[in-house]
A and B are shown apart, each in its own frame.
Chain A
Amino acid sequence: DVKVTQSSRYLVKRTGEKVFLECVQDMDHENMFWYRQDPGLGLRLIYFSYDVKMKEKGDIPEGYSVSREKKERFSLILESASTNQTSMYLCASSVTGAGNEKLFFGSGTQLSVL
């Protein structure tokens, strides 16, 4: 089974802190994604990556950056956390080519910024 592991289930940070959310997948998937989930808004894509050291902006990249130094790891960085970044963050991965629409998600990180 594909496993996507997010390092923290719950995280509480203060406004202005730099926050790192880590995600690791164990199935050698090329594609990795970061989404945020807010009630009534569904899943919104923040950033994605199709290869090591490669990143693309999604629909809501402002206030975030990402890092992909190794194929299995994709990190989301909040440079200076703000209260409007309180949300559930979901990491996902998929293969390239046929089947790339089938995303495998981690369990999520609920981030609270106070």
Chain B
Amino acid sequence: GAGVSQSPSNKVTEKGKDVELRCDPISGHTALYWYRQSLGQGLEFLIYFQGNSAPDKSGLPSDRFSAERTGGSVSTLTIQRTQQEDSAVYLCASSLAPAGGGNTIYFGEGSWLTVV
């Protein structure tokens, strides 16, 4: 596609439920990133994929958070047993090659998660 696509754009869920957030990166982009942005805060790194592998998952805040990527394309971020502090915008980004080479990353519009 032309840009990074994320779904759902908005999600309201009850505390304790599981949620899945989907990201479809720009076609041909091998690197994929998940970030989280809470209200009025900066971007918090969660996980980085190169192809289907996740060499850096250091930002996942707890074992309730997991992510996978299949076919070197679509990625899913899963949050189990959601808590109110999980409420944030979850931003997916992709780049042609890893950011370590100075490659630019491009963001999707985000999935706004509200846990009530």
Do they bind each other? no
* A-to-B contact residues, CB < 8 Å: none
